[in-house]
Chain A
């Protein structure tokens, strides 16, 4: 396959191909709808025969995330993927990785909850992804792809950010983006890093004591409270830096907008169509699409509050991101929420109706 070839594939398949191409060292996962194509595609591509990437189906999600912890401790580019109930099982391991400051990629292709819920698309894990689904004061860097192309592009981006800040990153997609097929140009092949490169890039990793250096210890445990506070403060300072430097978003038809929709992932795609319909009826509305859900584009939402008469948070959930919007807006303009639940995706007409009803 030529590097720049345009091809047609599902979002889940794009994740797998992009992982192989961006020098991923290992994937550890357990199948669950609607993301099973990630593991299936990796198994079909057999990257262990080409790039040497390890692909392993673990016995459970708990096991997968702890394999990721182990791989990440050695400075390798490792990842897992799952869907909502599976990601709930991983929360302990994710919190441990945030505490031990380990870079890794977790892909969540969300389905309707709570509990086992449905297998259809949902965005109801926003809180879990962005507010710390496990225990302790931590954040993941959360990227929300809205196309199959972004599913492919965000794999390398997530690894880059994860290693830059020594923090786990998450791609928060949903069943619609995972299952739909679109055009995609896969990223060019990048070789896996050599052991020497890993030692140079990750001086903290457990790569073996070469040249008599001090032992590297990977742990989230520190029983002395004073020391633990210092660690927490250092992690918090890192989070402030990420909030300052890594916010990503897209603006669409906001220049003359009287109203704004804020939406991420597949909801943002629906919003674009709704905006087309609403504008044909004379309603000037635009879209702000957070690409990073954490760090959240707070400043951009604040700016919107000075421009528009109202903001609609379109989410395929019962209203989660709307809280972050309201915090940013500080009551200056009305902020409403619209969403469907349990695996139902709102259609563009419904969104236009919700917009009219809200303001």
Chain B
């Protein structure tokens, strides 16, 4: 099994850290992982994206021409990456960030209203974990237990009391993602 994922949105949305937690969770399951950010001079508000590959086999190229799954959190990212989803692949978009939804008939399209849910739950900072929950519901690339273990491993101890909130967010994402 190899899952090639692009996560793209605005800087500050937690795109890179979502990818990092996914990669770390893969590592904890003994899988091969690569996390490759498109780094640039961008800061909060600019575009940000990261390629995450989780595989049972050694990963060759960290740079890809096409993806199994694209998670797009704003309109420019949708326009850039919708054409790069493999036929039969998956696109997940956040309803708040996207005004013109994807249209390709040969891919699976999922919508997740993660920004709205994060606002309702008064947990804006867990927006990315809600999106991650959505991904894990439709593609269980890693187990939720591994994600929680990854959070324990990557978060400084002083933030460990926030792990239950993150778990709540992941479960919320699993609940609200819907296929179009």
Interface residues in B, total, Cβ within 8 A = 21
Q: How far is the CA of A179 from the CA of B62 in the complex (A)?
A: 11
A181: contacting residue among B20, B40, B61, B65, CB under 8 A: B20
Q: Given contacts A8-B33, A179-B39, are A266 and B62 in contact (CB under 8 A)?
A: yes
A270 touches B33 (CB 8 A): no
* A residues in contact with B163, CB < 8 Å: none
B62 touches A176 (CB 8 A): yes
B39: contacting residue among A120, A269, A348, CB under 8 A: A120
B23 touches A119 (CB 8 A): no
Q: Given contacts A8-B35, A176-B36, are A269 and B64 in contact (CB under 8 A)?
A: no
Q: How far is the CA of A276 from the CA of B59 in the complex (A)?
A: 12
> Quick one: closest B residue to A343, CB to CB?
B40
CB distance from A285 to the nearest CB of B (A): 13
A34: contacting residue among B39, B61, B64, B66, CB under 8 A: B39
Does B68 lie at the interface of the complex (its beta carbon under 8 Å from any beta carbon of A)? no
> Quick one: closest A residue to B16, CB to CB?
A181
Does A243 lie at the interface of the complex (its beta carbon under 8 Å from any beta carbon of B)? no
A347 touches B63 (CB 8 A): yes
B33 touches A183 (CB 8 A): yes
Does A258 lie at the interface of the complex (its beta carbon under 8 Å from any beta carbon of B)? no
Q: Given contacts A273-B60, A348-B61, are A182 and B34 in contact (CB under 8 A)?
A: yes
* A residues in contact with B164, CB < 8 Å: none
* B residues in contact with A349, CB < 8 Å: 65-66
Across the A-B interface, how many residue pairs have beta carbons closer than 8 Å? 70
Q: How far is the CA of A271 from the CA of B60 in the complex (A)?
A: 8
Does A180 lie at the interface of the complex (its beta carbon under 8 Å from any beta carbon of B)? yes
B32 touches A180 (CB 8 A): no
B64 touches A181 (CB 8 A): no
Q: Given contacts A6-B27, A120-B40, A181-B20, are A272 and B60 in contact (CB under 8 A)?
A: yes
A119: contacting residue among B24, B40, B66, CB under 8 A: B40
> Quick one: closest B residue to A34, CB to CB?
B39
Does A330 lie at the interface of the complex (its beta carbon under 8 Å from any beta carbon of B)? no
Residues 167-186 of A at the B interface (beta carbon under 8 Å): 175-176, 179-183
Q: How far is the CA of A7 from the CA of B154 in the complex (A)?
A: 11
Does B140 lie at the interface of the complex (its beta carbon under 8 Å from any beta carbon of A)? no
Could you say which of A176, A274, A276 has the most chain B C-beta atoms within 10 Å of its C-beta? A176
* A residues in contact with B64, CB < 8 Å: 273, 347-348
Does B105 lie at the interface of the complex (its beta carbon under 8 Å from any beta carbon of A)? no
A269 touches B62 (CB 8 A): yes
> Quick one: closest B residue to A177, CB to CB?
B62
A180 touches B61 (CB 8 A): no
Does B45 lie at the interface of the complex (its beta carbon under 8 Å from any beta carbon of A)? no
Does B37 lie at the interface of the complex (its beta carbon under 8 Å from any beta carbon of A)? yes
* A residues in contact with B41, CB < 8 Å: 119
B33: contacting residue among A34, A182, A346, CB under 8 A: A182
Q: Given contacts A8-B33, A120-B40, are A181 and B63 in contact (CB under 8 A)?
A: no
Does A345 lie at the interface of the complex (its beta carbon under 8 Å from any beta carbon of B)? yes
A8 touches B27 (CB 8 A): yes
B39 touches A119 (CB 8 A): yes
Does A350 lie at the interface of the complex (its beta carbon under 8 Å from any beta carbon of B)? yes
> Quick one: closest A residue to B32, CB to CB?
A183
* A residues in contact with B59, CB < 8 Å: 182
Residues 36-50 of B at the A interface (beta carbon under 8 Å): 36-37, 39-41
Q: Given contacts A8-B24, A119-B40, A276-B60, are A182 and B65 in contact (CB under 8 A)?
A: no
CB distance from A144 to the nearest CB of B (A): 16
**What are 20 A-B contacts with C-beta separation under 8 Å?**
A6-B27, A8-B35, A119-B40, A120-B40, A175-B39, A176-B36, A176-B62, A176-B63, A179-B39, A180-B34, A182-B34, A269-B60, A269-B62, A270-B60, A270-B61, A271-B61, A272-B61, A273-B60, A276-B60, A347-B61
- Which B residues form the contact surface with A (CB < 8 A)? 20, 23-24, 27, 32-37, 39-41, 59-66
Q: Closest 3 CB pairs between A and B?
A: A273-B61, A272-B60, A349-B65
- Which A residues form the contact surface with B (CB < 8 A)? 6-8, 33-34, 119-120, 175-176, 179-183, 266, 269-274, 276, 345-350
